[in-house]
Each structure stands twice: as C-alpha cells, then as structure tokens.
Amino acid sequence: MARPDKAAAVAELAEQFRSSNAAVLTEYRGLTVAQLKTLRRSLGENAQYAVVKNTLTKIAANEAGISTLDDLFNGPTAVAFVTGDPVESAKGLRDFAKDNPNLVIKGGVLDGKALSADEIKKLADLESREVLLAKLAGAFKGKQTQAAQVFQALPSKLVRTVDALRAKQAEQGGAE
C-alpha cells in the first residue's frame, strides 16, 4: 500500500523540479513550526518550501534530470522550489539564515546548473531582476541622449565652420 503513495510522491516532486527555475536544498534541524512558517512567508509568492524525504527526493531529482544534488541529500532536508525570481527567494533564505543559524543552505540548482551554498549567497547579493532591468534601461536611455547630442552638435559645428570660412574668405577678398 505504501508503494503507490511513494510513487505518487516521487512523481509530484519530479514535476516540481521540472517546473521550477531553481531549487535550493536546506537543512532545517532545530527550527520550530512557527519559524518554518515565517521562512515560507519570507521566500515570496513564487517559491514553495517543502520538507522532503531524502531518498524519494533524490529519485525525483534524478527523474527530472538533476543528478548534481545527490550528495546533498543527507540529514533533515527541505527544498525551496522557486518558480519566479530566484534572487528574491535566495535573499529570503539568506536573511532568514542570518536570524536563525539553525537553517543551513546546502546548495541547489538554477536552470539546470548546480550551485554551492556560497553561490546561492552570492545570488542573494544581486539586485532583483526588475532593478537590473531598470538600470539597463537607464543606461540605454543615457546612451541615446548622448547620441542625440552628438547628432545635434554635428550640424551646428558644420554651420560654424562654414561661417568661419566665409569670414576668412571675405577678409582675404577685402585685403587684396
């Protein structure tokens, strides 16, 4: 009777791995239920935090084509499945771990690439996607403004040069 339940759990976990942009494995030993609830809220709307069984999750990850996490499935494990901006969730995990040292970030995967705990912390140091896009748009706008100024300067410089040539010719013509 336990076999169909386990198969269903593996299938559900495998689907979560496939549909997520990122997955972060953590050790939650020593955290209370209230603290886990707070952690779930801090991850944002686009992340789901689930306490999992190591063996079933390892099988599910392998079924989803992720074999780089195999070494991390030891001890009490929970996975944050991120479907939105991974930076927001990484910040939530990092900030929660600062306040609650019992939460240990083991590692994870982002778009199929394995990440160490340090790389996840570096990811948390990035600005959000929206902020980075706004900065990029600002940079493009600045470059357009510079280009417009250059294009406006060319005709006025040409006019000044032509006027200077006319004045010089007039001086030379009047001096003869």
Query: What is the SS3 string spanning 42-109?
Result: HCCCCEEEEEECHHHHHHHHHHCCCCCCHHHCCCCEEEEEECCCHHHHHHHHHHHHHHCCCCEEEEEE
Residue 67: per-residue pLDDT: 81
| pLDDT tens string 38-63 | 888 888 788 888 888 888 888 888 88
Instruction: Please check whether residue 61 is in contact with residue 17, taking contact to mean a CB–CB distance below 8 angstroms.
Output: yes
DSSP string, 134-162: HHHHHHHHHHHHHHHHHHHHHHHHHHHHH
Residue 9: per-residue pLDDT: 87
Average pLDDT (120-148) is: 75
Tokens describing residue 14: 């495998």
- Nearest partner of 25 among 34, 16, 33, 12, judged by Cα: 16
Is the pLDDT assigned to residue 74 strictly greater than 70?
A: yes
| pLDDT tens string 144-176 | 777 677 777 777 777 788 888 888 888 887 655
